Structures are given as structure tokens and as C-alpha cells.
Amino acid sequence: MSELPLTPLTRVRRHPERGSHDLELIYRILDEAYLCHVAFVYEGQPIVLPMAYVRVDDRLYLHGSSKNHMLNVLAQGAPACAEVTLLDGLVLARSQFSHSMNYRSVVVFGRAQVIAEASAKRAALAALCDRLAPGRSREARAPSESELKATLVLALPVHEASAKQRRGPALDDDEDLSSPCWAGVLPFTQSFAAPEPDAQLQPGTPLATSVRRLLEPRSRGAQGLE
Ligand SMILES: Cc1cc2nc3c(=O)[nH]c(=O)nc-3n(C[C@H](O)[C@H](O)[C@H](O)COP(=O)(O)OP(=O)(O)OC[C@H]3O[C@@H](n4cnc5c(N)ncnc54)[C@H](O)[C@@H]3O)c2cc1C
């Protein structure tokens, strides 16, 4: 797959060797994480908010109430910046200074477009649902006309973006290597716990296939949840 073009915004200056504009890597990170943080500036005030998202092709879909302040500001063409981070480990060094984190992250710059056409909006909302548990949109009721009207869906293009990743051990100074302080990496993983059935489930309702699949170890690996 291709590389995204380098722009003044996406040139990684600090530790450039950790930066990348490889589209495959960028998509892989975007497809593994569950939440993003979206930043915008409103009347001179930077605001950053966490939200769910899904990547489909070269777009990140965001959704929320049609009264959502941030989405309405973005719908009017305000510049946005979205970021996604996967924490892979805590890097514990011999010196306080050299402590760090192993991670993979992506930063996307762009202006969002409103998805107004009903079938495109329904498809984006189904993709958002399937992002939580693949296949879930076929199990749960589709949005009604009024729910569709009450929801604003935006697409942020992944055309100006960068990835950055840190891997490996602590980078202690040579003079600290004789220290008795333990040093190393504490890998960090995320996993699902046992499902908690809703109190008002109809008696005998089996666990949804999408959830069962998500809990299978193979599926968790495929989802990148490790
Ligand atoms: C989990 C985590 C913890 C971190 N903790 C710290 C910390 O405590 N202190 C610290 O200084 N830094 C930390 N970083 C790194 C931080 O994200 C920045 O990369 C770093 O601070 C350099 O900032 P800068 O403004 O000099 O970036 P620059 O190199 O000037 O940024 C230029 C461009 O590079 C790209 N870029 C920069 N950082 C990232 C990134 N992380 N992911 C994708 N693209 C990027 C963006 O397109 C950005 O516009 C952390 C990163 C992660 C993911």
C-alpha cells in the first residue's frame, strides 16, 4: 500500500525514526483501537473530546446527537485533528528521566463532511455498530427514521495523517546500567471480561453470536485486542 504525502503538519520532527506515513500501518492502528480523541478550536479555545469511530476505506466516521456541539462545528468545515493511541507497554528505566511508554499512535488532520444521504448514513451507522462487535448490526434493530434524523454522521478523510510508534527497552544512560534498580518493559494488553447480561433480557435469550465471536481467543487476536 502507499505512503501518505508528507505535509508541514505531518512531518514527525521529534524522534522522526519512530514516525511513519505508511497507509497500511496507519489503517492497522486505526482498525485496532476503539476510541479516538477529536480536537477542534471553538472561538479560540482548543477543545478535545473522546469518541467512538470506525474507519471505512479512507474515511473515519464519527457520529453523535444532531445537537452535538463539536460535530456541528466540524460540519461547518472547521479544521479537525483526531488521534488514536494503543498503549503497548510501560517502559521502566533505572533513571526517572528515561521512563517511557511503548505505543502505536495515529494523528489525522482534516475537515469533516456531513453524511446526509439516508442510505450512506445508515451504512456508516451499521459500520460503527459492527466496529464494536463484528456482525452486531445484523443482530440489533436498525435506526428508525426519527433516530436517523436525531443523529449527525461525519466523515473525516484520512488523507493527511501520521503514525508514530515506540518499541523496545528502556534507554538508560551507560552510567546508570550498574544501578540496582529493576528496569524493563511491562507489556500492556486489553481484553474483555465475562459478559454481564442485561437485567431485562427476555428469558432464555442466548449470548449474541457477535459477542461470542469477540470472546473467542482467535477473534480477539484478529481484532488486535491481544
Ligand atoms: C502513549 C503515549 C505517551 C506519550 N508520552 C509522552 C510524554 O510524556 N512526553 C512527550 O514529550 N511525548 C510523549 N509522547 C509522544 C508525543 O505524542 C509526541 O510525539 C512528542 O511529545 C513530540 O511532540 P512534538 O510536538 O515535538 O511533535 P512533532 O514531532 O513536532 O510533531 C509533528 C507532527 O508529527 C506527528 N506526530 C507527532 N507525535 C505523534 C504521535 N504520537 N502519533 C502520530 N503522529 C505524531 C503529527 O503529525 C505532528 O503534527 C507520547 C506518545 C504516546 C502515544
Q: With cut-offs at 50, 70 and 90, classify the pLDDT of residue 226.
A: very low
Q: Are 170 and 179 in contact (CB under 8 A)?
A: no
Please provide the average confidence, as pLDDT, over all residues in the chain.
95
Q: Is the dihedral of CA 13, 17, 21, 27 positive or negative?
A: negative
**Which residue puts its alpha carbon closest to atom 34 of ligand 1?**
12
C-alpha 143/C-alpha 125 separation (Å) is 8
C-alpha 53/C-alpha 48 separation (Å) is 15
Report the b/e string of 147-175 with b at 16+ CB within 10 A.
eeeebbbbbbbbebbbbbbbeeebebeee
**Which residue puts its alpha carbon closest to atom 24 of ligand 1?**
14
Distance 69 CA to ligand 1 centre (A): 27
Task: Give the CA angle between residues 149, 154, 160 to the nearest 5°.
Answer: 175
Which atom of ligand 1 is nearest the CA belonging to 12? 34
pLDDT digits (tens, 9 = 90+) for 68-125: 999 999 999 999 999 999 999 999 999 999 999 999 999 999 999 999 999 999 999 9
* Closest by CA position to 74, among listed 52, 36, 41: 41
- pLDDT at position 223: 44
- Using CB distances shorter than 6 Å, the residues near ligand 1 are 9-10, 12-14, 85, 87, 101, 103, 105-107, 162-164
Mutational test site, ligand 1, from 3, 7, 9, 12, max ligand atoms within 8 Å of CB: 12
At a CB cut-off of 8 Å and minimum separation 6, what does 31 contact?
55, 224
Q: What pTM did the predictor assign?
A: 0.95
Joined grid coordinates for residue 137: 448490526
Residue in this structure with the C-alpha cell 520532527, named with its chain if needed: 13
Which atom of ligand 1 is nearest the CA belonging to 106? 43
* Closest by CA position to 212, among listed 151, 136, 121: 136
* Closest by CA position to 66, among listed 128, 153, 151, 154: 151
Q: Which amino acid appears at position 63 of this protein?
A: H
pLDDT digits (tens, 9 = 90+) for 135-168: 999 999 999 999 999 999 999 999 999 999 999 9
